[in-house]
Chains A and B, each alone.
Chain A
Amino acid sequence: MLRRAGRAAGQVFYGMTTFDWVRDLRRGRAENESLFLLIAFGDLVGLPLLPPYYSLRLLPFVMPSLERWKRALLRERDWTDLIGLIEGAE
């Protein structure tokens, strides 16, 4: 019981302190990965930038992230998407 409460308090604490920091880092990494995928596999979204030979050699390494990348790239966005980045605006 006490251990569970302690763990929950730790998780709340993490949420209040470094959770958004970690998310920003993830966002930065995702942007870099997205750029790489766009260069290497641009033809998947209609932008052939790299000769297919090299793309095919890279394919096994990027296979796990392809689906996620396409979903993130093609998602509809508007201004209100950015709101999530402004924490504690009150």
Chain B
Amino acid sequence: MNSLLVLILAAAGIVLGYFVYARHIDRKVVQPDPKKATPARMYMDGVDFTPANRNVLFGYQFKSIAALGPIMGPIVAVQWGWLPALAWVILGTFFIGWVQDYGAMMMGVRRDGETMGALSYKLISPRARRILMIFIYFYLLLIMGSFGNAVGKNLMTNPRNPLGMIIVVLMGILGGQMTYKWRRDIILTTVVTVVISFVGIWVSTLPGVAAFFTAIYGGAKSPVLFLGNTQAQVIGTLLVIVFCYLGSVLPIWSYAQPINYISFWIVSLGMLGGLIGLLIWRPGMGDFPVYTQFTTASGPLWPILFVTIACGAISGWHSLVSTSGTARQLEKETDALPVGGGAMFMEMGFAVMAFLTATVAFGGLKGYQDAGGAGAALGVFSKGLAAFLNVIRVPREFGMAYGSVFLTIMALTIMQLAVRFMRVASAELVGKQVPAMKNTHVGTIVALILTLVFVWVIPWLTIWTAFGAANQLMAGLALLLIALWLMSEGRKHAWALYPSAFMIITTIAALVYLAYTNFAKLGNPKITTQGFLASLLVGLIAVVLTVAAVILVADGVKALAKPGAHKQPKAA
């Protein structure tokens, strides 16, 4: 299939999904009232509850939900063939993805801007809030593990990557200083820092620089250290850890926020260039198979494909952003569809772009596998992006380094904030029992040690599947909450309840499969120490999440059956 046809198909999905299905639900079922006071107006505090323009919120929501998830998921999922991956991205967004993002936002608006924790407490059961906390903690740990693994053990081992990454980080720090300390204009700051970042990425491709990092990494064949990790992987992960440590302990204005800002430019310019290159080139998929086989290295198509592509089709994380973040800033109820639904459909476009880097950039399946395949999704993306950029005369060598830095910085900006959150969470959770955990450095170091264990021990594909399962379980819960909320308002709720049932059943099946396959490996007499630890860890996480999901579903079903849950239907 030609890439242009894929883009047209995705555009048709967006037009039909947004302008027909979503608009119908919005106008006929949820019926937002533009004159009704939103929490942003009722509880305005100048920070969290502040009305903002819908275009601004659309940009904010899109930036908040689109990161590495929609890039990595489709690239891993094409191992089942291009059709299942593309179908899930388009149909998942069409029937489930926007429903969750928009529904969670409207639920937040109509319920006084309450968070998912408070909503699950009130709509399901008191213990549902605690279960949500477990999900979130595991989710963050799995983010750290999967992103840390993909970056530290894959991208950073390329000797052309580290210098570019270090320079972008330094430019972020410079950007913070220029804005806050020297009070320079934001345009000047942007031009200086972004231009120097590009120069830094170019310098990192020079043979001398690559030779320097190759020597540090222990030569072309890096010696093996710690649980089968090479010296390059150990150094790469430690660089990531140092970056995250600084992100967690330094003031947010001086480090995390300006780096985030610089990374926006690097990412958006790369995506724009890649899209232009793709539109000019319009390559076909060559011999890339429509469908490969039911069971691949990751597992069976159902349920594993549906947790492999989370963000880009449906992701539980979006519900948290929609309620705690965006719902409290909506100026009018009618803004929820363009902001929540619109951002989700745009993210689908982002996922399709990632899908195309895997399927069309290398001329077929062999090219995709040679680029790293499902086990090195980020490597595939950076090489694919370099191929697209090459069409607009960007040298391939620079394009690859640029793609690597683009993805590294994208992952690191998220990881540093996740560590910050884990530090706060652990202080809240065990601060009374272990006062040392209240210390910023101790809390950060504990979170980073846990991350290192995950990164060094668990194989990337396994941790990615576990991460997807935790995420999709949250999506199932969010959809269940939305259905309960719609019932409490006496509105039609099948459009949220059926997707919820699908997500919960699929995710529980995926977790049971993960637990079973990993515990089965423990009995193998030939298993290595690393393999044993990895299987034990993933198996235990899968069991904890399965038990949590079963409790939650039981409570949810009880809440659905409660007489007070149903109200008289409102006139449609």
Contact = CB atoms under 8 A, between A and B. Distances in A.
Interface string A65-90: 00010011001101111111111111
B234 to A, nearest CB: 26
Contact of A15 (B56, B413, B420): B56
A13 interface: yes
Interface string B253-274: 1000100110010001000000
B59 A13 contact: yes
B320 A80 contact: yes
B63 interface: yes
Nearest to B429: A79
Contact of A79 (B50, B52, B56, B136): B136
Q: Is chain B's binding surface mostly helix, strand, loop or mixed?
A: helix
B59 A15 contact: yes
A84 B57 contact: no
B155 interface: no
A53 B323 CA distance: 42
Interface in B41-68: 43-48, 50, 52-53, 55-68
Most buried by B among A13, A20, A83, A89: A89
Contacts of A86: 414, 417-418, 420-421
B56 A19 contact: yes
A85 B421 CA distance: 9
Interface string B101-138: 00000000000000111100000000001001100100
Contacts of A13: 59
B62 A16 contact: yes
A84 B116 CA distance: 11
A88 B260 CA distance: 10
Interface residues of B, number: 64
A12 to B, nearest CB: 4
Interface in A6-37: 8, 11-21, 23-28, 30
A83 B357 CA distance: 31
A27 B48 CA distance: 8
B255 to A, nearest CB: 12
Nearest to B312: A90
B344 interface: no
B46 A30 contact: yes
A68 B46 contact: yes
B324 A81 contact: yes
Most buried by A among B57, B65, B321: B321
Contact of B60 (A15, A25, A28, A30): A15
Contacts of B418: 86, 89
Interface string B425-436: 100100000000
Contacts of A24: 252-253, 257
B257 A12 contact: no
Given A24-B252, A68-B44, A90-B317, A79 B117 contact: yes
Given A16-B59, A68-B45, A88-B413, A76 B118 contact: yes
Interface in B394-432: 410, 413-414, 417-418, 420-421, 424-425, 428
A75 B49 CA distance: 11
B281 to A, nearest CB: 26
B141 to A, nearest CB: 12
A21 B261 contact: yes
B126 to A, nearest CB: 12
A68 B317 CA distance: 29
Q: Is chain A's binding surface mostly helix, strand, loop or mixed?
A: helix
Contact of A89 (B47, B59, B261, B414): B414
A26 B45 CA distance: 10
Contacts of B52: 15, 19
B510 interface: no
Nearest to A21: B257
Contact of A72 (B45, B57, B117, B252): B45
Contact of A27 (B47, B323, B421): B47
B351 to A, nearest CB: 11
A15 B343 CA distance: 12
Given A24-B253, A89-B414, A30 B47 contact: yes
A59 B257 CA distance: 35
B186 interface: yes
Given A89-B143, A89-B414, A78 B118 contact: yes
A17 B58 contact: no
B311 interface: yes
Contact of B67 (A12, A16, A23, A89): A89
A13 B63 CA distance: 10
Nearest to B63: A16
Contact of B56 (A11, A21, A76): A11
Given A8-B55, A87-B64, A89-B67, A80 B253 contact: no
A76 B111 CA distance: 14
Contacts of B68: 90
B417 A89 contact: yes
Interface of B: 43-48, 50, 52-53, 55-70, 115-118, 129, 132-133, 136, 140, 143, 186, 252-253, 257, 260-261, 264, 268, 310-311, 315, 317, 320-321, 323-325, 328, 410, 413-414, 417-418, 420-421, 424-425, 428, 471
Nearest 6 CB-CB pairs, A to B?
Answer: A15-B59, A90-B69, A11-B55, A84-B325, A88-B67, A16-B59
Interface of A: 8, 11-21, 23-28, 30, 68, 71-72, 75-76, 78-90
Given A11-B56, A21-B261, 16 more contacts: A8-B55, A12-B55, A14-B56, A15-B52, A15-B55, A15-B59, A80-B132, A82-B424, A83-B324, A85-B421, A87-B64, A89-B67, A89-B317, A90-B143, A90-B315, A90-B317
